[in-house]
């Protein structure tokens, strides 16, 4: 959940630090309690840690650079930097990274958790090591110090000491180390926490996330669990630390990143969150590109092509059960997919929180397909749940956004979202892309299993981008903004939906909680009489999804009954309704219209005004909508 960046080149120290700072800014969505860096060039060492956001570290380091002589190019310029999301120890300069040994000769940054750090710390303290922080990370530089002393007479002492340290620590980690005595090398290692190496010319990079490398290089190497690397400005040497030897270099494939710097920058938007909400139709089109084949003369002959699933087509044909796994927003996307797979693919489907599934007892039956959803492809609980499925010989499909991520590599097949980088911590466009891909997968399975479904679904999905753009017209955004400002002083909110829109109500409530810190609860409309109605009064408003489609108005009629109950108790109501529906005016205080679409695809439209509402409530409260407190983008530790 923390952010890691490292850079080694023949450039000046100032340029080295600029790369580190810019990398940290790109990673700040992963953690922003504190930040720190160490940079070495021509024997000049700058080591600084600062509390708060990366801009504080940048200002502090600039003061050091401005008061120091200018150091030009040399044989090397090396540095590592870190932005922290606190796990062990409160946010403070002492607890921020890099951490060092007793004599500040070894510098370590780390993402993850060292589970046996207390035991190791006790041993090290008895050996005379002095700790400065409350973190689990600090045991790493002290272990390295201990082993370096023991291996001092060995010419391979740095490799051996690093390897011995990796073999003694337990848990999940991505680690980067610089030795003051060996300033032309960054040592890195990975176990259950993401780490990527960026390849350049006469320069190389390391990062916890490819987004930190955008604009510098598109060539990357993804480390697998159990691998470590020695990174110099011209070479990357990779080994397996779980083997018994430092010998046996591993040859790795270089992957080309699809993302570019323009897509990762805000452009004319005030925040990444607004930019990413407004990219909805682009995200949909990229998810569908090359995957929907429309027959203009006979729409009934239109079909879905998913090359990533062709290798398991026989397994899909014989599938009798689908399990969907996800966390947070990905879980709610999975809940929508549960409705889709049952209605479109005609397969019994269950969705589980990956964090619960990994521990619960589950009855696994043959011909079960598992779908794991994760924007980053690095979600720790989802990775653990996938491993459990593989242990039970189940076929697993990955739906991820990041090419080369852990989940994309450990699943049997998959479909990429192609949404591009999502920088805002609260997921918006990832939800759109996940729903789009899940709709494709449900249609693809129905197609290969010869199940009957409404062929209009394919053409309507293909044309949905125009309806998204209609919602995002300036006059509609302005209207939603005014509603958000009206309700921004509320302390509680209820979100209601039914059928396909019940999971969207949950996601809408989550967005409001994440962005505005307002207590919000999502409920299925039919549950109102089973408890939630007790909360309703004039200070507890409701955001209801009351859409109407031509197929079936029963669901809306039932929801109207729920809203009448709320109105009778003086609760204010904000509704999302279908364009042209005048029946709802008498029941709601405020109204947002969306274009009509098929029931199965409504969540793709409904979520957009809900995202905008949460965004503008956060803005009305002068909050940082891109970086909500206490949250990190990618949850890579349990």
What phi and psi, each to the nearest 5 degrees, are found at residue 377? 75, 10
- Sign for the CA dihedral angle at 568, 572, 575, 581 comes to positive
* CA nearest neighbour of 165 among 197, 133, 188: 188
- Residue with tokens 């809408």, as numbered in its chain: 508
Cα–Cα–Cα angle for 114, 119, 122, rounded to 5 degrees: 120
CB 329 within 8 A of CB 373: no
Catalytically annotated residues: 2, 633
H or E element in which residue 240 lies: strand 236-240
If one counts every other C-beta atom within 10 angstroms of the C-beta of residue 66, the result is 8
Rounded Cα gap, residues 15 and 73, in angstroms: 9
- Residue with tokens 């996330």, as numbered in its chain: 209
Q: Which region, left, alpha or beta, applies to residue 438 given φ > 0 means left and ψ of -120 to 50 means alpha?
A: alpha
Long-range contacts of 67-75 (CB under 8 A, 24+ apart): 68/44, 70/12, 70/14, 71/12, 71/13, 71/14, 71/41, 71/42, 71/44, 72/12, 72/42, 73/10, 73/11, 73/12, 74/10, 74/12, 74/41, 74/42, 75/10, 75/184
Rounded Cα gap, residues 63 and 56, in angstroms: 11
* CA nearest neighbour of 575 among 560, 594, 588: 588
Task: For residue 177, give the 3-state DSSP assignment.
Answer: strand
CB 483 within 8 A of CB 613: yes
Task: For residue 39, give the 3-state DSSP assignment.
Answer: strand
CB 318 within 8 A of CB 308: no
If one counts every other C-beta atom within 10 angstroms of the C-beta of residue 580, the result is 9
- Residue with tokens 């291996």, as numbered in its chain: 151
Q: Which residues share a beta bridge with 349?
A: 322
Rounded Cα gap, residues 340 and 123, in angstroms: 55
In the structure encoding, which two tokens stand for residue 623, read together?
Answer: 């909050």
């Amino acid at each position: 959940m923390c952010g890691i960046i490292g850079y080694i080149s023949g450039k000046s120290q100032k340029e080295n630090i600029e790369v580190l700072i810019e990398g940290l800014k790109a990673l700040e969505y992963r953690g922003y309690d504190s930040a720190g860096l160490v940079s070495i060039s021509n024997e000049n060492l700058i080591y600084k840690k600062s509390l708060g956001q990366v801009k504080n570290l940048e200002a502090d380091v600039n003061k050091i650079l401005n008061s120091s002589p200018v150091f030009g190019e040399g044989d090397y310029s090396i540095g590592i930097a870190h932005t922290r999301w606190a796990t062990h120890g409160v946010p403070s300069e002492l607890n921020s990274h890099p951490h060092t040994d007793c004599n500040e000769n070894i510098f370590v940054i780390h993402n993850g958790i060292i589970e046996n750090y207390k035991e190791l710390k006790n041993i090290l303290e008895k050996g005379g090591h002095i700790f400065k922080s409350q973190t689990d990370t600090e045991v790493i530089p002290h272990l390295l110090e201990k082993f370096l002393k023991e291996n001092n007479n060995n010419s391979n002492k740095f490799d051996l000491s690093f390897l011995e340290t990796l073999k003694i620590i337990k848990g999940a980690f991505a680690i980067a180390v610089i030795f003051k005595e060996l300033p032309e090398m960054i040592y890195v290692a990975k176990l259950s926490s993401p780490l990527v190496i960026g390849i350049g010319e006469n320069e190389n990079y390391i990062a916890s996330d490819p987004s930190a490398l955008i604009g510098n290089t598109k060539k990357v190497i993804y480390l697998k669990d159990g691998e470590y690397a020695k990174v110099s400005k011209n070479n990357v040497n990779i080994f397996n630390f779980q083997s018994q030897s430092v010998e046996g270099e591993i040859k790795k494939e270089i992957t080309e990143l699809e993302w570019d710097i323009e897509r990762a920058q805000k452009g004319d938007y005030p925040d990444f969150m607004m930019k990413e909400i407004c990219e909805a139709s682009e995200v949909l089109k990229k998810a569908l590109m090359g995957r929907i084949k429309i027959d203009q003369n006979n729409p009934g002959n239109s079909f879905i092509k998913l090359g990533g699933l062709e290798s398991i087509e026989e397994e899909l044909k014989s599938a009798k059960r689908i399990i969907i796994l996800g966390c947070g927003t990905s879980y709610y996307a999975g809940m929508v997919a549960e409705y889709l797979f049952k209605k479109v693919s005609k397969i019994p489907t269950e969705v589980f929180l990956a964090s619960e599934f990994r521990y619960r007892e589950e009855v696994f039956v043959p011909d079960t397909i598992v779908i794991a959803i994760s924007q980053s492809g690095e979600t720790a609980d989802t990775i653990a749940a996938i491993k459990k499925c593989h242990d039970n010989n189940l076929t697993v499909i990955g739906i991820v956004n990041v090419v080369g991520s852990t989940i994309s590599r450990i699943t049997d097949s998959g479909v990429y979202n192609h949404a591009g980088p999502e920088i805002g911590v609260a997921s918006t466009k990832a939800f759109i892309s996940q729903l789009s891909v899940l709709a494709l997968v449900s249609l693809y399975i129905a197609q290969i299993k010869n199940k009957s479904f409404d062929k209009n679904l394919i053409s309507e999905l293909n044309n949905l981008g125009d309806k998204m753009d209609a919602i995002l017209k300036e006059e509609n955004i302005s209207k939603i903004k005014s509603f958000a400002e009206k309700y921004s002083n509320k302390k509680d909110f209820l979100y209601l939906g039914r059928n396909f829109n019940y999971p969207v109500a949950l996601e809408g409530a989550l967005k409001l909680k994440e962005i505005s810190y307002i207590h919000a609860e999502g409920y299925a409309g039919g549950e109102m009489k089973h408890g939630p109605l007790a909360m309703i009064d004039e200070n507890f408003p409701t955001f209801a999804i009351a859409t109407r489609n031509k197929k079936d108005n029963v669901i809306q009629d039932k929801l109207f009954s729920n809203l009448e109950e709320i109105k009778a108790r003086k609760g204010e109501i904000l509704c999302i309704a279908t364009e042209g529906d005048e029946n709802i005016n008498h029941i709601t205080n405020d109204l947002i219209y969306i274009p009509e679409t098929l029931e199965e695809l409504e969540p793709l439209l409904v979520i957009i005004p809900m995202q905008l509402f949460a965004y503008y409530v956060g803005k009305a409260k002068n909050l940082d909508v891109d970086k909500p407190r206490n949250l990190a983008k990618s949850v890579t530790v349990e």
